[in-house]
Amino acid sequence: MIGHMSVSCMRGRWTQLPQCVATDQLEKCKAPKVTGVNGIQPNKKEFNHNFSMSYKCRGKKEHKHSTCINGRWDPEPNCREKESCPPPPQIPNAQVMKTTVKYQDGEKVSVLCQDNYIIQDTEEMVCRDGRWQSLPRCIVKIPCSQPPEIDHGSIKLPGVSEERRDRVESRIHEHGTTLSYVCEDGFRMAEEHGVTCNMGKWSVPPRCVELRCGPPPSIRHGIVSHELDSYQHGEEVTYNCAEGFGIDGPALIKCVGGKWSQPPTCMVTDCDNLPRFENAIPQEEEKYSYRSGEQVTFTCAPSYHMNGSNIVTCVNREWIGEVVCKETTCKPPYIPNGFYSPQRIKHRADDEITYGCKEGFYPATQETVVKCTSTGWIPAPRCGLKPCDFPQIKNGRLHNEERYRPYFPVPVGKRFHYLCNSGFVTASRRYWGFIHCTARGWRPAVPCVRQCVFHKVENGESPYRQIPYSQGESAKVKCYPGYSLPNGQDTVTCTENGWSPQLKCIRVKTCSKNDIEIENGFLSESDHTYALNRKTHYRCKQGYVTANGETSGTITCLQNGWSAQPSCIKSCDRPIFENAGTKNNSTWFKLNDEIDYECHIGYDNKYKHTKGSITCTYDGWSDIPSCYERECSIPLLSPHLFVNPRNDKYKVGDLLKFSCQQGHRVGPDSVQCYHFGWSPSFPICKVDKVGPCDQPPELLNGEVKGTKKEEYSHDDVVDYVCNPRYLLKGPNKIQCVDGKWTTLPICVEEKRTCGDIPELEHGSVHFSIPPYNHGDSLEFTCLETFTMIGSGSVSCISGRWTQLPKCVATDQLEKCKAPKVTGMDRIPNKKEFHHNVSMVYKCRGKKAHKHSTCINGRWDPEPTCREEESCPPPPQIPNAQVMQTTVKYQDGEKVSILCQDNYRTQDTEEMVCRDGRWQSLPRCIVKIPCSQPPEIDHGSIKLPGVSEERRDRVESRIHEHGATLSYVCEEGFRMIEEHGVTCNMGKWSAPPHCVGLPCGPPPSNNHDIVSHELDSYQHGEEVAYSCAEGFGIDGPALIKCEGGKWIQPPTCINSTGNCGPPPPIDNGDITSFPLPVYAPLSSVEYQCQSLYQLQGNKKITCRNGEWSEPPKCLRACVILEEIMERHNITLRWKESQKLYSSSGDDVEFKCKSGYKQIKPSPPFHTKCFDGHINYPSCSKPRSWFSG
């Protein structure tokens, strides 16, 4: 090598590279001929490479040296005196540099220009021959205006909105500013991406060239719609699959940025075996495979009916659709004004009931026996109103009733005079009254009511005059002392039979104290006799309570004696838990009640268990729910290993220190006792020589902190740091232990970013464009008259900004008082210290000096003479990633842990070294998954690309801890909170709400009137419609705003023209009592006889004097045994002598045993239609040996 092997980066350029010359080609140097040289040693004509010679200059004592480097002397032999230079000059517009020092020949001085000036020609002046040469110049920096525009591209300004872009681009840019460009979609940068401002001119901008795609990728069993050699950015092609194959993925792909998007694949689309559905039967024989798009129809087994679609479809190797056959059942019928038998909770298909009607009503069907079918009860049981029969007036009669009796029954609306018997009055309290025939029968329902007279009260106070009361009215009675109405009443009521109870006060019932038996308690009152309804109080002894947990209770004197005997039962108060807790929140407990408790972390009960239970007994609690701190014991130690201190047992937090009597310690020098035992593992003493380690291992997304060594000895420690945006988990230090390194930490990507830059009062920040990732820093400064307290650098750590500094007015900074510290040997001789002034002190018995600085009234660091203890190596946390380390940590240092898969940290992620012990230990607990996410009104889980058939499966699956799901609202509704829920340890966060959008004015039709018309209506608001005179309303008069839309409004139609009786239909009738005349817009409903199927709208309406089209009742089919016998067939799924099937029902036959289908023949799977059914036929097969 010719030259220096070390090359340095100086001001953006590398220093001179060395040369590598073939050793056999190295040139020799000739003896130098230099004026003034006195003698050369050794005296040779030629010198080999790397050979040095010495010489003296005439008149000089010292020797000079020069070395032959590949044919040249270095340095050049020279006896000429080199002149020194005067102090360097002050360059105009450069930073001031006052100096009086002379410089030697060859020395250089670099200059720094003032703000807004730039160096020209060179940055350094050189001392040559006693003069400064190559002087630099400081010239004014010329800024640049708007940067050049480029086709299909623009300046890259991340985080800058479109509104601010023009302002940023058009501002003045300083000399040296570099801007980057970005190309539009479909174009790429052909050169470097930026332009630089150089003395008022921008460098040449880059170009954006178009990206094109080649032919689209080919796929098996698929073809492209139009294939070319080249496609422009944004062009699309479509794939189609060959017959028998279906497309999997998007059929359309796009040329984006010179590349095609992912093409689809063509997959076999046939389906295998049919899916099985409970109580469902396919209508055709099952095949081995089905083509995509092929459909199969199912029917339900007898006594079951179809709920939903009866068809499944083969789509791309998967059966789409689900067939549900529900058992045909009927709920107990609701028959207003009627009754039925037998009464059951549930009625099955073909069950029959018999119904009847109450007095005044009659059955609306011809028969009173109805049957349970798939469409409900047939015929529908209903009780209609009768006309009014001759009224039976209790305690009264009709006026001239014998004269009017032949006119009964009478229609609704008739009325008759009546009068009441003695002691009774009419409902109007007059001598004569009217009784009316109404749709609900005779009114008033009780024509004659009793009239009672309140007069003499036996054993009580009587009124001065007689007072009349009507039936149902009550009067208050005041009895003489010692008397009461029966049952302790104080009122009497006028009934049909007179006063109830009678106007007679009877002697009051009393209770005796001697009748009370109380155990484990005592009565708190001295009275011996208690009147009816009076209460007495009792108390329980200590340790006993009433049945509801109180220390006292009451019993009442009733007609039959005391309401109950006092009860005092043994109880236990809530126990005091020591280092334990329970989920039971009760404050008292009955005899034999149990409490389960659990010890705090690091504690056990006396049975060495973390959980226990205690029972309430006659003597109190069966045990004390106390837990005791766990202890550590010393296991078997390796030979020559000594521990300090040496005890039988150790408490949690105790430390053990180790030393070797002989050999080397391999492992940590101390360990700590934790609730899970000693950690880290104990060391051993190795008598043999301990080995060195290789270079420290590489850390993914991290590196060694500091300079590496060539060799690492036993006990050497190496620190690691993670790359920006990564978090270090585990010990940041590893140690060489007998030739092996301890566990390497892990660098985990920290994806959390920090939010907006925090504002600093009386300060500012050097702006930085978001996002702000983990590890990013910002620099803050204070205003001119303010002083910063704290670090001016604020960092984004795990999604949060570190502590902001404070800007305090400089004239308000507080002073610090001289500290008073125990053990301080040399105390500063001042009472107060100004801000930012440091003091130096020594501790007693120590040589080293300590320093502390006054920061706005507080010392930093706090002056102390207490020795800070180091911590043993950090422990291995249960269920955390393995971290074996032997390195000690200093007070205040932290170690972050990483839990194993399916575990998460609780409380904290870091443990801290404090006072020589590890504190705030994290825990790794099992992640608890969540079940089905919560449902919300008018919204659902957002599952893009998931079909409705698969939605239930996706929603009902187990969701891991931390999973986040989004919701989407139905059309017409909007989300008012965050759109998602998150699973957190088995529980979902609160779901969002979907609220309906408002509606505009309600729709208007001809001849209608809206109750209250506004410009806007909230979701759920209603408006009522009415029609103009001569028009009737058709449809619901009330409509509602739902999700921004009004439900269907009614219409107003001409109301002139009544209708006669509704038209009759075969095998069916209307469900209401027929009337001779129906008003416009009246409606009636039809129903069919049992097993007849209604076809059409069951409801018809009277419009303009005519009824709308009535429905039809399709006949049922009757399948007889003799017909099937003639055709040699039987039912496939049910055998009975007679089967009724409604019109539209599916029926499936099969050949009798030993028979085959006759071809051609009607299908074996057929339908009943209006009483007709096609029967297939079977015959015995011919024998090969017949004839």
Looking at residue 192, which CATH number applies to its domain?
A: 2.10.70
pLDDT at residue 1069 tops 70:
yes
- Quick check: is 100 in a domain? no
Rg (CA), the chain: 52
pLDDT digits (tens, 9 = 90+) for 739-756: 999 989 999 998 889 988
pLDDT digits (tens, 9 = 90+) for 132-156: 888 899 988 888 988 999 888 888 8
pLDDT at residue 1183 tops 80:
no
Q: Regarding predicted confidence, which is higher, 192 or 444?
A: 444
For residues 388-400, give the mean pLDDT. 87
The whole-number pLDDT of residue 786 equals 94
Residues 870, 825: one domain?
no
Which 3-state string (H, E, C) describes 520-553? Answer: CEEECCCCCEEECCCEEEEEECCCEECCCCCCEE
Beta bridge partners of 608: none
CB 424 within 8 A of CB 446: no
For residues 325-329, give the mean pLDDT. 87
- Which strands sit side by side in the sheet containing 964-969, from one edge to the other? 939-941, 964-969, 980-984, 987-988
The whole-number pLDDT of residue 666 equals 85
The whole-number pLDDT of residue 870 equals 87
The shares of helix, strand and coil residues in the chain, as percent rounded to the nearest 5, are: 5, 40, 55
Q: 460: which residues sit within 8 A by CB, 6+ positions away?
A: 477, 478, 479, 480, 483, 503, 505
Residue type, 1098: K
pLDDT digits (tens, 9 = 90+) for 604-648: 888 878 889 999 888 888 888 999 888 888 877 877 888 888 888
For residues 1143-1164, give the mean pLDDT. 83
The whole-number pLDDT of residue 804 equals 92
Residues 959, 1039: one domain?
no
pLDDT digits (tens, 9 = 90+) for 555-581: 888 877 888 888 888 888 889 899 899
Residues 742, 881: one domain?
yes
Q: Regarding predicted confidence, which is higher, 1187 or 1099?
A: 1099
The whole-number pLDDT of residue 908 equals 86
CA torsion 978-980-982-988 (nearest 10°) is 90
- Quick check: is 1091 in a domain? no
Distance CA 289, CA 271 (A): 6
CB 528 within 8 A of CB 538: no
Last residue of a domain, one of 902, 926, 950: 926
- Quick check: is 129 in a domain? no
pLDDT at residue 707 tops 70:
yes
pLDDT at residue 457 tops 70:
yes
Residue type, 1152: K
Give the chain's count of helices (H) and strands (E).
4, 122
- Quick check: is 1109 in a domain? no
The whole-number pLDDT of residue 1137 equals 47
pLDDT at residue 1126 tops 90:
no
Per-residue confidence band for 949, with pLDDT thresholds at 50, 70 and 90: low
Residues 614, 639: one domain?
no
Helices marked H in 866-989: 948-956
Distance CA 525, CA 509 (A): 20
Residues 637, 734: one domain?
yes
The whole-number pLDDT of residue 788 equals 93
Residues 767, 832: one domain?
yes
Residue 398's SS3 state is strand
pLDDT digits (tens, 9 = 90+) for 32-72: 887 777 777 788 888 888 888 888 888 787 888 889 999 89
Cis ω for the linkage preceding 1160 (within 30 of 0): yes
Distance CA 769, CA 757 (A): 10
pLDDT at residue 25 tops 50:
yes
Residues 742, 636: one domain?
yes
Q: State the DSSP string of 1051-1118.
A: EEEE----B-SPPPBTTEEESS---S-B-TT-EEEEEEPTTPEEES-SEEEEETTEEPPP-EEEPPEE
Distance CA 554, CA 574 (A): 25
Residue 1165 CA to chain centroid, in angstroms? 51
Residue 811's SS3 state is helix
Last residue of a domain, one of 860, 876, 906: 860
- Quick check: is 64 in a domain? yes
For residues 1099-1105, give the mean pLDDT. 84
The H or E element containing residue 842 is strand 838-843
Per-residue confidence band for 762, with pLDDT thresholds at 50, 70 and 90: very high
C-alpha separations of 483 from 458, 555, 944 in Å: 10, 22, 82
Domain span including residue 436: 396-446
pLDDT digits (tens, 9 = 90+) for 240-293: 988 777 788 888 999 887 888 899 988 877 887 888 898 899 988 888 788 878
Mean pLDDT for the chain overall: 84
| Neighbour tally for 289: CB within 10 Å | 12
pLDDT at residue 1062 tops 90:
no
Residue 402's SS3 state is helix
The whole-number pLDDT of residue 32 equals 85
Burial 894-929 (b: 16+ CB within 10 A, else e): ebbbbbeeebbbeeebebbbeebbbeebbbbeebeb
| Neighbour tally for 941: CB within 10 Å | 20
The H or E element containing residue 1009 is strand 1008-1010
Residue 131's SS3 state is strand
The H or E element containing residue 293 is none
Residues 669, 595: one domain?
no
Look at residues 343, 337, 346 and name the one whose alpha carbon lies nearest to residue 385.
Answer: 337
Residue 500: give its domain's CATH number. 2.10.70.10
Per-residue confidence band for 856, with pLDDT thresholds at 50, 70 and 90: very high
Distance CA 1071, CA 1086 (A): 6
DSSP 790: S
Residue 302 CA to chain centroid, in angstroms? 46
The H or E element containing residue 763 is strand 763-765
CB 591 within 8 A of CB 617: yes
Look at residues 866, 961, 981 and name the one whose alpha carbon lies nearest to residue 916.
Answer: 866
pLDDT at residue 335 tops 90:
no
Distance CA 1066, CA 1111 (A): 10
Q: Regarding predicted confidence, which is higher, 427 or 1067?
A: 427
Beta bridge partners of 1022: 1040
Distance CA 296, CA 6 (A): 83
- Quick check: is 262 in a domain? yes
Q: What total of structural domains would you count in the chain? A: 13
CB 266 within 8 A of CB 244: no
Distance CA 808, CA 763 (A): 10
- Quick check: is 580 in a domain? yes
Distance CA 551, CA 542 (A): 8
Distance CA 1147, CA 39 (A): 131
Burial 185-214 (b: 16+ CB within 10 A, else e): ebbebeeeebbbbeeeebeebbbbeebebe
Q: Which tokens go with 947?
A: 């079909």
Residues 545, 484: one domain?
no
- Quick check: is 667 in a domain? yes
pLDDT at residue 865 tops 90:
no
C-alpha separations of 180 from 162, 202, 806 in Å: 17, 12, 36
Residues 981, 835: one domain?
no
The whole-number pLDDT of residue 1187 equals 36
CB 148 within 8 A of CB 205: yes
CB 1019 within 8 A of CB 1043: yes
CB 109 within 8 A of CB 88: yes
CB 713 within 8 A of CB 719: no
The whole-number pLDDT of residue 167 equals 64
pLDDT at residue 74 tops 90:
no
Per-residue confidence band for 947, with pLDDT thresholds at 50, 70 and 90: low
CA torsion 598-603-607-612 (nearest 10°) is 0
Distance CA 882, CA 729 (A): 11
The whole-number pLDDT of residue 228 equals 86
The whole-number pLDDT of residue 386 equals 63
Per-residue confidence band for 1185, with pLDDT thresholds at 50, 70 and 90: very low
For residues 443-464, give the mean pLDDT. 88
CB 54 within 8 A of CB 64: yes
Distance CA 896, CA 910 (A): 4
Helices marked H in 367-500: 401-404
Per-residue confidence band for 1186, with pLDDT thresholds at 50, 70 and 90: very low
How many C-alpha atoms does 1146 have within 13 Å on its Cβ side? 21
Residues 557, 522: one domain?
yes
Last residue of a domain, one of 74, 103, 122: 74
Per-residue confidence band for 297, with pLDDT thresholds at 50, 70 and 90: very high
Distance CA 796, CA 813 (A): 29
Token look-up 């798939």 returns 374
Distance CA 488, CA 506 (A): 10
Residues 562, 588: one domain?
no
pLDDT at residue 814 tops 90:
yes
Instruction: Give me the percent of the chain exceeding a pLDDT of 90.
Output: 11
C-alpha separations of 229 from 111, 215, 226 in Å: 61, 5, 10
pLDDT at residue 359 tops 70:
no
